[in-house]
Each structure stands twice: as C-alpha cells, then as structure tokens.
Amino acid sequence: MIALLQRVSQARVEIAGETAGEAPRSIGPGLLVLVCAEPADTEAIGLKLLNKILKLRIFADEAGKMNRSVQDVGGGLLIVSQFTLAADTSGGNRPGFTNAAPPALGETLYDAFVAAARAAHPEVATGRFGADMAVHLVNDGPVTIPMRMGV
C-alpha cells in the first residue's frame, strides 16, 4: 500500500463544487493522507500502514523539532484515495496504472483503511472513492512524506 502524507494547516475535498464527506467535512491542522492500494495488498497491510502514520513524528515540539505525531498534537486526518500513486512512468510519456489494485479491491481496502482510522483516531474526514475530486490544502512546512508498506 502506498501513502503520500502532507502535513497541513487545513484541508478539504470538494466534489462537484461541494465539500465532500461525512462530518467532519474538513480538517484544520493535521495530515492529508493520499492512499493507493496495490494488487497484493490486504487489510492487514493497510492497518500496519495506518499505525505507522498515526505514530510518525512529523509535527514540531516546543523546541521546534519534528518530534510529535498527529495523535500527540490532536490533528485531523483527511484520507483520499489516489490510484495515481502507483503510476509506472518507466516507458514512454503516458503513465501506466497496472500497479494499482483493481477498482473493487482498491475500494474495499480504502474503506477498511478509513474504518480503521475512524476507530483509532477522533477526527477523520474523507474524499469519495473513484470520484473526480478537488483537494484543497495548505501544506504546512511544506512537509511531504512518501510511504510504502507491503508484503
């Protein structure tokens, strides 16, 4: 499973001009988590990735050092599915997406990832799987961290 984390001061997703998702519909300070399932991924891999994300120390402490996690600072999570993280750009000028999980598996794993996040963290907003989304964010730092968890 692939994730791209962006530390944000605020973020939201719009679909057809309206803020998407269940309450909360947007987050203040926290993490935008772009997530992509790959064909060999499982719910267990997603849970391992989520646990790493929740504990990753990328927020500043009192001394200004990246020493606190999103849970330590009480930040929100905005979780958005993004199959393009699995893009293969090794040949030609058009990316291929065969490294991404098929849509049915991708949606199942995305839903399981979101459910686990909601069980483990108090503030979780989402996009909508498969939708054409406009992601609005203010990147804080900027801090952007790629992650991959696999078998």
| pLDDT given at position 36 | 98
Residue 21 has pLDDT above 80, yes or no: no
pTM recorded for the entire structure: 0.95
d(CA 37, CA 41): 6
Q: Is 98 a catalytic residue?
A: no
By DSSP bridging, strand 76-81 and strand 30-36 are parallel
pLDDT digits (tens, 9 = 90+) for 84-102: 999 999 999 999 999 999 9
- For the domain that residue 44 is a member of, what is the CATH number? 3.50.80.10
* Mean pLDDT, rounded, for 126-143: 95
Average pLDDT, the chain: 95
Distances from the Cα of 49 to the Cαs of 30, 34, 136, 142, in angstroms?
Answer: 17, 12, 24, 22
Catalytic residue among 6, 82, 113, 126: 82
- Residue type at 45? I
d(CA 127, CA 134): 9
| pLDDT given at position 26 | 93
d(CA 73, CA 30): 8
Catalytic residue among 83, 108, 126, 144: 83
* Mean pLDDT, rounded, for 107-114: 98
What's the number of domains the chain is made of?
1
Catalytic residue among 84, 108, 113, 126: 84
Q: Is 83 a catalytic residue?
A: yes
pLDDT digits (tens, 9 = 90+) for 34-63: 999 999 999 999 999 999 999 999 999 999
For 34, the domain range is 2-148
| pLDDT given at position 25 | 86
d(CA 30, CA 16): 24
Q: Is 113 a catalytic residue?
A: no
**Percent of the chain whose predicted confidence (pLDDT) is above 90:** 91
3-class SS of residue 23: coil
